[in-house]
Amino acid sequence: MHFQSATAIALGAMVGFSGPVWGQQNPVVVELYTSQGCAACPPADDLLNEIADHDAVLPLALHVDYWDYIGWADTFGKAAFSARQKSYARKMGRKSVYTPQMIIGGIDDIQGNAAMQVMGLIADHHMNPFADGLVTVEIAAQDSGGVTVEARSSTILEFAVDVQIVRFLDRATVEITAGENAGREITYRNIVTDWTVLDAWDGSAPFSYTVPGDVPDGTGLAVLVQEQGLGPILAAARYP
């Protein structure tokens, strides 16, 4: 029997789904900027864990490295993710970054441990997606190996977009022995390990790309189409 958390049930009600699995062609992308060394982050990590298995949402945990100096080096932290968060801050006119922060749909930011406000923003994006239906993305495994990505647009886009591949671990549990969370054992979900821009695209013709090799068990792959300069995310899909 499948049991849902109160948070998942509340989010399901907000976006209009009551079952444990929600079908959504373009899930709402939620980027969580977090750190194993941040005392305020575990509630946000838990929130991401609770929504990780629902198809209406594509939550991605990007572990930053700027908390490492406190005494615990985040085992998933990468300077590239800190740089992406700082680029969002500049885009939004902010002078600094913080954790836990969630960026929703590439355009809205909120404290990642503010559960009800996060769910409200996700519901808003679900009900009023940016450029709804303009861009679609499909991912399919090939019998000969590899995964094919195809993006289509109903019209030539008025702005350039980047097609991006994101690889992530499904879950990992970490024993933290130093820093602000010393003594805690924390499970993380959808842990981003690599974020690569494949190419720019204008929508004039379908975009097709084959990712070589298989997607190993315990990992996932996502494709995002985002306006260049860290603008709105127009479409997303994940595999498996």
Average pLDDT over residues 109-137: 88
193 to each of 8, 16, 77, how far by Cα in Å? 25, 32, 9
* Tens of pLDDT, residues 164-222: 999 999 999 999 999 999 999 999 999 999 999 999 999 999 999 999 998 999 999 99
Residue 86: what pLDDT? 98
pTM: 0.91
Please count the other Cβ atoms lying within 10 Å of the Cβ belonging to residue 164.
17
Provide the mean pLDDT of the chain.
90
The token pair at 175 is 């024993």
CA–CA distance, 82 with 110 (Å, rounded to integer): 17
Average pLDDT over residues 219-229: 97
pLDDT band per the 50, 70, 90 thresholds, residue 95: very high
Average pLDDT over residues 46-63: 96
- Does the structure show a pLDDT above 50 at 124? yes
Q: Which CATH class is domain 6-239?
A: mainly beta
- Which positions ≥6 away from 125 have C-beta within 8 Å? 28, 104, 105, 108
Average pLDDT over residues 109-129: 92
- Does the structure show a pLDDT above 50 at 23? no
Residue 13: what pLDDT? 58
Q: Where are the alpha helices (DSSP H) in the chain?
A: 6-15, 42-51, 79-91, 115-127
CA–CA distance, 30 with 108 (Å, rounded to integer): 10
What are the residue ranges spanned by the domains of the chain? Answer: 6-239
